[in-house]
Structure 1
Amino acid sequence: MFQTLNKTIYKAFGHSIQSDIPLPELQQIDDPNESVDIVIRYADLTAKWLEHSDSSRTSVCTETMVMFRVPDLAIFAVENGTIIYISPENGADEDKMRLYILGTCMGAILLQRKILPLHGSAVVIDHKAYAFVGHSGHGKSTLASAFLQQGYQLVTDDVIAITLDHRNIPYVTPAYPQQKLWQESLDVFGMSSNQFRPLFERETKYAVPVESYFSSDTLPLAGIFELIKTDCNQVQIRAVDKLERLPLLYRHTYRKSLLSDCGLTKWHFDMTARMSGSIDIYQLQRPLNEPTVHQLTDMVLHAIGK
């Protein structure tokens, strides 16, 4: 734990965070005496990067450290699940650095803390969390947004942080009240992009605040829905059998490339094996170029008995 010097403290993924760089996406903690779990600091990582890397590598990973360089932006180092160092290039854009801090860096923090990060979104239905996972562009955030349009609450978007209790029941810890939606998704819901901030270098993807639809409660994870775009003619749903579940959970683990070098392969297998027997898992197939989000919403609700 760290003691802060009267700086802003944020809350995300069940942890308190103090940061040298403002993180307006996150919820603030008003108590100045709050102890801090994770700190984000500016530092000069040039010598450390040269010591550990070579010209052919863009990242370095050990059991206690993940370090990577984004050309023309910054070097990032994540250590021991407690600290993120940022070494910016001259003229580095703060918005773009925040994307990496709240994305890859936070994913590494969760892994170092042995919290499973899945790539997807999760919503609250009947006081339980349901997750939507899938590859980029397959409609995870759009489906979650459709549930928000119906009055349900968001738990997390992009990274789903999962822990297990002593009974092997998985729980989802809330992230922060923001979604990332493509222009096509905004069009489906009749939302104007003029009121939202475009994500850096992604002029057709926007940061959409959802404070009034955000759940700050840690909730049991009751089900996972994998979204897949195929050349099928209509939406389809099927239950995922037990032999398919571990590959599915591995496939959608956020920054899974870090597992081996961080010495987490066995932990990941054990954790996913334990949780896979405690939840329902489905696969949702959808046509490639048709708007099917409202059909998918109905399918999800029917599958869970709503």
Structure 2
Amino acid sequence: MTSGHFYRHYGFNLRSDLALPHLLPGDPAAPVEIDVRLGAIAADQLGDALHFRNWRAEPGEILFHAFGICRLLVTDGATMIVERDGGATDAALVSIILGTGVSALLMQRRILPMHACSIASDQGAILVIGRSGAGKSTLLGGLMGAGCTMLADDVTGVTVDTGGATAIPAFPAMRLWTDSLALLGEDQDDKLQVREDIEKYYVGIDRFRADPMPVRAIVLLQGHNGPAITVRPVAMANRVEALARYVHRKNFLRGLGLQRWGFDAVVRLAQSVDMIAVGRPVMGATPAGVAATVIEHFGLDPALQPTA
């Protein structure tokens, strides 16, 4: 039997030398589809590839350097080699593996890593996108507090074909900043810190759907200075630009030779689902209030949402 830790992540059987907190358990007897290994990476790896400040890539392979933490070599959507920098902790490595590393793997497997949290509904998945600090995870916490079922906290995998778009779940935990914890009435005392150098914590959740489901709609969450929560449709002409902006690590597409595929996938996603913009007042809006607006708009009944 192969040694290591075994998980089910974005629908794939994953083996890892490092423990990856909160991921769904996997089957050690099942074929390994993604292998995460600790090891050395040659100094001249991808030396002739397309170079950027902290990464270089060519079709099928990408090397990323998180300075002071690790280097990652991701190959063919199947292998991730992790070379630790100096005294970087396991927690720091895990944050890069589950973020940048997994997004690169998904791209190589032709799965869009959308920088979006997502919930399940009886008519399909609802994704929430928005700039950093817009309140996506806080809104997700409000939706969970109202009884909704989570698919993903930070990155939702999305496939698009002639039949429409499908959301692929991540793992049953949220990663919340201390201010979001406070808004949701939580504290960090009993929670695992995502990384020692940032005030962000894992929050395990009970209502999680592990199976993919069709995408029903996308919410673009925006802050504004008005007094009330607003809801408006996003015109088709604006959808592609908005969605392309929130592909996680979108610049990798160029280095991997996947720009055309990525653009086509975003266009098909924009055409296949409903999309609205929700304006959240910068002052005074509560997670429960914004969540109630989303629930009312889509006619959700959290008690009836599927968990499997």
TM-score by length of 2: 0.91
Change (3 A) 1:55 1:299: closer
1:235, 1:292 within 8 Å by CA — same for their partners in 2?
no
Residue matched to 2:73:
77
Residue of 16, 20, 30 corresponding to 2:17: 20
Change (3 A) 1:120 1:56: closer
Offset of 1:201 from its aligned partner? 4.1
2 CA distance for matches of 1:97 and 1:23?
10
1:53, 1:59 within 8 Å by CA — same for their partners in 2?
no
1:142, 1:293 within 8 Å by CA — same for their partners in 2?
yes
2:66, 2:96 within 8 Å by CA — same for their partners in 1?
no
Change (3 A) 1:133 1:56: closer
2 CA distance for matches of 1:50 and 1:127?
45
Aligned positions of 1:18-97 closer than 5 A = 18-29=15-26, 31-49=27-45, 51=47, 57-97=53-93
Name structure 1 gaps, 5 residues minimum: none
Between the two proteins, the alignment pairs up a number of residues equal to 300
Aligned positions of 1:248-259 closer than 5 A = 248-259=242-253
Residue matched to 2:176:
181
Deviation track 1:138-194 (CA, whole Å, cap 9, x = no partner) reads 111111111111221110111110112442x11111111110112222222221221
2 CA distance for matches of 1:165 and 1:150?
32
Name structure 2 gaps, 5 residues minimum: 301-308
2 CA distance for matches of 1:119 and 1:177?
16
- Answer yes or no: is 1:205 the counterpart of 2:200: yes
The more displaced of 255-264 and 242-251 is 255-264
Change (3 A) 1:56 1:10: closer
Deviation track 1:90-111 (CA, whole Å, cap 9, x = no partner) reads 3221100000000001000011
- Answer yes or no: is 1:131 the counterpart of 2:130: no
Residue matched to 1:243:
237
- Answer yes or no: is 1:231 the counterpart of 2:228: no
2 CA distance for matches of 1:204 and 1:294?
23
2:176, 2:201 within 8 Å by CA — same for their partners in 1?
yes
1 CA distance for matches of 2:84 and 2:45?
13
Residue of 257, 261, 273 corresponding to 1:279: 273
Residue matched to 1:99:
95
1 CA distance for matches of 2:252 and 2:10?
19
Change (3 A) 1:127 1:269: same
Offset of 1:54 from its aligned partner? 11
1:128 is aligned with what amino acid? G
Deviation track 1:225-261 (CA, whole Å, cap 9, x = no partner) reads 0111222332211100110110011011111111122
1:80 is aligned with what amino acid? D
Q: Which has the higher contact order (CA 8 A, sep 6+)?
A: 2
2:219, 2:277 within 8 Å by CA — same for their partners in 1?
yes
1 CA distance for matches of 2:114 and 2:38?
28
Aligned positions of 1:106-185 closer than 5 A = 106-126=102-122, 128-167=124-163, 169-185=164-180
2 CA distance for matches of 1:288 and 1:202?
27
- Identity rate, percent: 29
1:19 is aligned with what amino acid? S
1:28 is aligned with what amino acid? P
1 CA distance for matches of 2:234 and 2:253?
24
